[in-house]
């Protein structure tokens, strides 16, 4: 957990108010069935900003959770059971860097129906070798809240 905090860091410029967050729980109720194999989505909990509006789920050969907040800010969870990835560094990205990294990882096609706002902030973290969490379209003033959310993830 400490390494996760060090990788994304939490800025101390602004204090995080616990009352500004609610718990989100992904209880692993969705599955992919292939031949005789059943693959479950990842189970996890985290604290998300209370400005949460909706959750969109996409299931194909992947599991994608799209949590939408005010101002089109998003947390995206992408679990790709059949592949293994390496991310050189968990970090914040500009729009161009984010798209380049998605292309390098061959993930851009999984997010082709998203509208990315070029002048906003983006982040990408690999929690396990096939489980990503991203924050996209984040206004600079809200970035600490999304970093806090990502740092609060509990996989089980």
Q: Which two tokens stand for residue 112?
A: 């082709």
66-92 as b/e: b if 16+ CB within 10 A: bbbbeebbbbbbbbbbeeeeeeeebeb
pLDDT digits (tens, 9 = 90+) for 6-64: 444 444 445 677 779 999 999 867 778 877 888 889 999 999 999 999 999 998 889 99
pLDDT digits (tens, 9 = 90+) for 96-145: 999 999 999 999 999 988 999 999 999 999 999 999 999 999 999 999 99
The rounded distance, in Å, linking the Cα atoms of 100 and 61 is 23
Residue-by-residue DSSP string for 78-91: EE-TT-----S--E
The domain in which residue 37 lies consists of: 2-9+18-155
Q: Which two tokens stand for residue 125?
A: 């973290």
The rounded distance, in Å, linking the Cα atoms of 128 and 63 is 14
CB atoms within 10 A of CB 18: 7
Helix/strand/coil for 116 = coil
Q: Over 70: is that where the pLDDT of 73 sits? A: yes
The DSSP secondary-structure symbol of 15 reads P
The rounded distance, in Å, linking the Cα atoms of 76 and 142 is 16
- Count how many domains the chain has: 1
Could you list the beta-strand ranges (E) of 20-120: 21-26, 31-34, 37-40, 44-49, 54-59, 63-68, 74-79, 91-93
């Amino acid at each position: 957990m400490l390494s996760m905090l060090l990788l994304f860091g939490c800025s101390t410029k602004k204090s995080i108010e616990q009352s500004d967050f609610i718990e989100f729980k992904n209880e692993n109720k969705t599955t992919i069935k292939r031949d005789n194999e059943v693959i479950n989505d990842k189970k996890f909990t985290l604290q998300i900003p209370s400005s949460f509006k909706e959750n969109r789920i996409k299931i194909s050969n992947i599991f994608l959770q799209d949590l939408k907040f005010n101002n089109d800010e998003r947390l995206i969870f992408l679990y790709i059971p059949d592949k293994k990835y390496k991310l050189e560094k968990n970090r914040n990205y500009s729009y161009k860097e984010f798209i380049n990294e998605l292309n390098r990882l061959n993930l851009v096609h999984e997010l082709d129906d998203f509208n990315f706002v070029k002048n906003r902030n983006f982040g990408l973290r690999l929690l396990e070798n096939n489980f990503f969490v991203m924050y996209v379209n984040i206004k600079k003033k809200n970035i600490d809240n999304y970093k806090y959310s990502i740092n609060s993830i509990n996989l089980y």
